[in-house]
A and B are shown apart, each in its own frame.
Chain A
Amino acid sequence: MAVTTDMRAATPAGPSVRRLNQRALAPWLFLAPGLFMFAVYVLWPIGQSITLSFYDWNGLYNQDGEFTGTYVGMGNYAELMTDPAFEVSLWNNFYWLALYMLALPAGLLIAIFLNQTVTGIRLYKSLFFFPFVISQVVVGLMFAWFYAPNFGLLYLLTEWVTGKGIAILADPDLVTFGIIAAGLWPQIAYVMILYLTGLNNVAPDQIEAARLDGAKGWRMLWFVVLPQLRPATFIAVIVTVIGALRSFDLVSIMTKGGPFGESRVLSYYMFEKALGEYGFRMGYGAAIAVVLFAIMMVFISGFIWKMWRDERER
């Protein structure tokens, strides 16, 4: 008898605790590995960079493993404000951001052009997608040779047409645009593939209906097709913005920030100050990284806010 009463008393409690565990604990358990990684590899370094940006430190620990930096407060940021090289890098980042957006219309145009059923269209599509498959380093090398003085194709072409070759990467006014053009090549391919998949999901009945109503050309694109491509556009904008802001590899491969720093972007300037051959200023580099992070946060928060709003509406 005693056993049964015990069991009765226990039965309601048992499952409810387990159910509570399932509801409350299980999600966290599943999230734990991800959260751990995110905390260790993202949040902690961000915190460390921000802390470091208040120090003047050459990156070395002394013999006893002690940190050798000195606290300078906002000193690094104050110096950034008056650093002409920082200003150049910031402007170049702005050019990158603005001109990289050209990848959107260009990618859309190619996607629409390729979105037809002709023999061998798969081959053409993959050829257009090809630049995105190549590593950025290779893209940088190819364009560096394309622009190279004395033997580059573009140099020889301009020499043939105008009598005087243009060495784009040696020209302080043109160099950033030369690198952006190299970056756009794979970026357009990327955006194109995003739009191509998007175009597959455009409802044919709506196109049909619009056509019956007499829509064609620009009006069809603007009022019927583009609204349905909104998810693809959203992703394309995100990857393009991020691609523009983290443009490091092309600058590093093609010009090393030169001539005299005119093609530096923030990420490269940070590398140069903190980690490059002549870079021993970890704190200053960290301050540049924090500024770049702040700029990125503006865009990232915008995206997250929009995504969150869309989820809510659903």
Chain B
Amino acid sequence: MVHKQTGALALVAALLLSTSAFAQDKRVVTWNADYDPIPLAAAEAVITDFEAANPEIDVVLTNFDHEAYKNAIGNFLTADPPDLANWYAANRMRPYVEAGLFADISDVWAANGLNDALASSLPSMTIDGKQWGIPYTYYQWGIYYNRDAYAAAGLEAPGEAGVTWEQFLANCEAFKAADIDCLTTSSLEQWPVAGVFDYLSLRTNGYQFHSDLAAGKVSWTSPEARAVFAEFAKLQPYVSEGHAAIKWQDAAALLVQGKAAHFVMGNFAVGVFKEGGMTNDNLGFMVFPEITAGVARAEEAPTDTIHLTSGAKNPDDAKTFLAYMATAEAQSKWNAAVGQLPTNNTATVDPADPFLVAGFEALSTASGGIAQFWDRDAEAEYAKAGMDAFQQFLVQPEELEAILERLEQTRLRLYPQ
């Protein structure tokens, strides 16, 4: 049973639901989520399957507005905890784990062999050696490009293997000559720029360095960090001007119109590109080029998760549902509907969608590791300071010393040595 409720209606509906559930003598599992319409429909379908297999359990989903969810979760976890709540992996879940609001579900992982099935997500779900949630979807990041723009600049579009970093920069020069932005991005919402930085960092120094950087263990004035900014500086002249004042959808429009050639983005942007009129023929995807030879390729794949709350009233049935959400069956179904990738490595993706296939391939062969994204790997305040810095560097590359100095001060304040 699925019910979408907001605000005061939720209370009334919840009362009605609890009575109706009581009448049917089912055990209720409550689940708070923040889904847009398509993921919500997918979740409803998964719940229907689950209830068919477990007729004595009634999963009641309360859907929240996406933007309001962050403030709501802080309140409902203490005031009126549901059994299950949606959230995100890695450092994003840390405040709730440390406040004791999310429950340890290592037993669910152990009992269902999830350490193998969800192996790629194990590090990001583990804090203090325990697992705190079920990852059920992620999506790849990479470079989306417009083949028509390549043609307009008289260049050959990248093949299956992508391009080398030198070739990429050389192409950028050619795009510039053709008055096309080589790389478009948006820094009005700062996270798209963080994606670019993440890849530069992962490709220059590898996963471990990037992870340490996000955790505040590495100095911003170290030679390795400077090397990342040196690569960033090579890219900087080719980034769309005015990126600080446009939304990512506006940047996507530049790509669609052929005014820009590349966009470092997550796979969710494909829907926007296609709404703008692009097709599988002129929209391309490639992994970010290798920069330092020999560095194991790591990819970004932000993971969405479901957590058992510490105040859950029906933890046993909630764990049954969590175990179900970890199965290949549930994940294949949910992700096929939403167009994202299942985290369960035995799940399947739609072979007709070249971007999903490419993403699944890119992630499953990423020997370097899976990063979550800057604002999930780094602690919230540190992430924000970093994104301010990346944005400023794109606008004022000559301020590099001041930027690194400020970041280093922030790091020393947040992580006293």
Q: Flag if B95 contacts A60 (CB, 8 Å).
A: yes
Q: Flag if B245 contacts A167 (CB, 8 Å).
A: yes
Main secondary structure of the interface of A (DSSP, over half): loop
Spot the interface stretch: B206-214, B280-288, B389-397.
Answer: B389-397
Q: Flag if B99 contacts A62 (CB, 8 Å).
A: yes
**Interface code A45-59, partner B: CB below 8 Å = 1, 0 otherwise?**
000000000000011
Please report the number of residue pairs spanning A and B whose Cβ atoms sit closer than 8 angstroms: 98
A150-B244 contact, Cβ under 8 Å, with A61-B78, A258-B187: no
A167-B242 contact, Cβ under 8 Å, with A60-B74, A61-B78, A260-B392: yes
Q: What interface size band does chain A fall in?
A: 35 or more
- B-to-A contact residues, CB < 8 Å: 70-71, 74, 77-78, 95-96, 99-101, 187-190, 241-246, 250, 254, 259, 310-311, 375, 380-381, 383-384, 388-389, 391-392, 395-396, 406, 413
Q: Flag if A62 contacts B95 (CB, 8 Å).
A: no
Residue among B95, B254, B259, B396 making CB contact with A58, cutoff 8 Å? B95
**Interface code A142-181, partner B: CB below 8 Å = 1, 0 otherwise?**
0010011110000100000000010111101000000000
Q: Is A63 an interface residue (CB 8 A)?
A: yes
A259-B395 contact, Cβ under 8 Å, with A59-B74, A63-B311, A149-B241: yes
Q: Is A15 an interface residue (CB 8 A)?
A: no
Provide 15 A-B residue pairs closer than 8 Å at the C-beta atoms, listed in order of the A residue.
A60-B74, A62-B78, A62-B101, A63-B99, A63-B311, A148-B246, A149-B242, A150-B250, A167-B242, A167-B244, A172-B396, A256-B188, A258-B188, A258-B391, A259-B244
Main secondary structure of the interface of B (DSSP, over half): helix
**9 closest pairs, A vs B, by CB?**
A149-B242, A259-B244, A167-B242, A170-B244, A169-B245, A170-B245, A278-B384, A260-B392, A278-B380
Q: Which residues from B are CB-within-8-Å of A261? A: 388
Cα-based distance from A149 to B413 in the complex (angstroms): 37
Q: Which residues from B are CB-within-8-Å of A85? A: 388
Which partner residue on chain A sits nearest B95 by CB separation? A58
Which partner residue on chain B sits nearest A257 by CB separation? B388
Q: Flag if A62 contacts B188 (CB, 8 Å).
A: no
A60-B242 contact, Cβ under 8 Å, with A259-B391, A275-B71: no
Q: Which residues from A are CB-within-8-Å of B396? A: 172
Which partner residue on chain A sits nearest B243 by CB separation? A170
Minimum C-beta distance from A188 to chain B (A): 24
Q: Flag if A150 contacts B395 (CB, 8 Å).
A: no
Q: Which residues from B are CB-within-8-Å of A155? A: 242
Q: Is A84 an interface residue (CB 8 A)?
A: yes
Q: Is A311 an interface residue (CB 8 A)?
A: no
Cα-based distance from A61 to B246 in the complex (angstroms): 37
Cα-based distance from A145 to B384 in the complex (angstroms): 26
A170-B395 contact, Cβ under 8 Å, with A60-B101, A63-B78: yes
Minimum C-beta distance from B65 to chain A (A): 14
Cα-based distance from A114 to B333 in the complex (angstroms): 66
Q: Which residues from B are CB-within-8-Å of A59? A: 74
Minimum C-beta distance from A163 to chain B (A): 13
Q: Flag if B99 contacts A279 (CB, 8 Å).
A: no
**Interface code A257-277, partner B: CB below 8 Å = 1, 0 otherwise?**
011110000000000100101
Minimum C-beta distance from B83 to chain A (A): 14
Which partner residue on chain A sits nearest B77 by CB separation? A60
Q: Which residues from A are CB-within-8-Å of B74? A: 59-60
Q: Which residues from B are CB-within-8-Å of A259? A: 187, 244-245, 391-392, 395
Q: Which residues from B are CB-within-8-Å of A62? A: 78, 99-101
Cα-based distance from A59 to B71 in the complex (angstroms): 10
Cα-based distance from A3 to B395 in the complex (angstroms): 96
Q: Flag if A278 contacts B375 (CB, 8 Å).
A: yes
Minimum C-beta distance from A59 to chain B (A): 6
Cα-based distance from A255 to B101 in the complex (angstroms): 34
Q: Flag if A60 contacts B241 (CB, 8 Å).
A: no
A63-B101 contact, Cβ under 8 Å, with A255-B188, A260-B392, A275-B71: yes
Minimum C-beta distance from B75 to chain A (A): 9
Q: Flag if A60 contacts B96 (CB, 8 Å).
A: yes
Minimum C-beta distance from A106 to chain B (A): 26
Cα-based distance from A258 to B394 in the complex (angstroms): 13
Q: Is A12 an interface residue (CB 8 A)?
A: no
Cα-based distance from A172 to B100 in the complex (angstroms): 41
Which partner residue on chain A sits nearest B393 by CB separation? A260
* New A-B contacts (11) at CB < 8 Å, excluding given A62-B99, A149-B246, A255-B188: A58-B99, A61-B78, A61-B99, A62-B100, A68-B99, A148-B250, A150-B254, A170-B242, A256-B188, A260-B392, A260-B395
Cα-based distance from A259 to B380 in the complex (angstroms): 18
Residue among B70, B245, B389, B406 making CB contact with A149, cutoff 8 Å? B245
Q: Flag if B244 contacts A60 (CB, 8 Å).
A: no
Q: Which residues from A are CB-within-8-Å of B244? A: 167, 169-170, 258-260
Q: Flag if B189 contacts A60 (CB, 8 Å).
A: no
Q: Is A14 an interface residue (CB 8 A)?
A: no
Q: Which residues from B are CB-within-8-Å of A258? A: 187-188, 190, 244, 391
Cα-based distance from A58 to B99 in the complex (angstroms): 10
Minimum C-beta distance from B384 to chain A (A): 4
Which partner residue on chain A sits nearest B246 by CB separation? A149
Cα-based distance from A155 to B396 in the complex (angstroms): 20
Q: Which residues from B are CB-within-8-Å of A58? A: 95, 99
**Interface code A171-215, partner B: CB below 8 Å = 1, 0 otherwise?**
010000000000000000000000000000000000000000000
Q: Which residues from B are CB-within-8-Å of A79? A: 413
Q: Which residues from B are CB-within-8-Å of A60? A: 74, 77-78, 95-96, 99, 101
Cα-based distance from A234 to B100 in the complex (angstroms): 53
Q: Which residues from A are CB-within-8-Å of B78? A: 60-63, 65
Q: Which residues from B are CB-within-8-Å of A150? A: 242, 246, 250, 254, 259
Q: Flag if A170 contacts B241 (CB, 8 Å).
A: yes
Q: Flag if A167 contacts B95 (CB, 8 Å).
A: no
Q: Flag if A167 contacts B311 (CB, 8 Å).
A: no
Q: Which residues from A are CB-within-8-Å of B311? A: 63
Which residues of chain A (235-258) have a CB below 8 Å from chain B?
255-256, 258
Minimum C-beta distance from B404 to chain A (A): 14
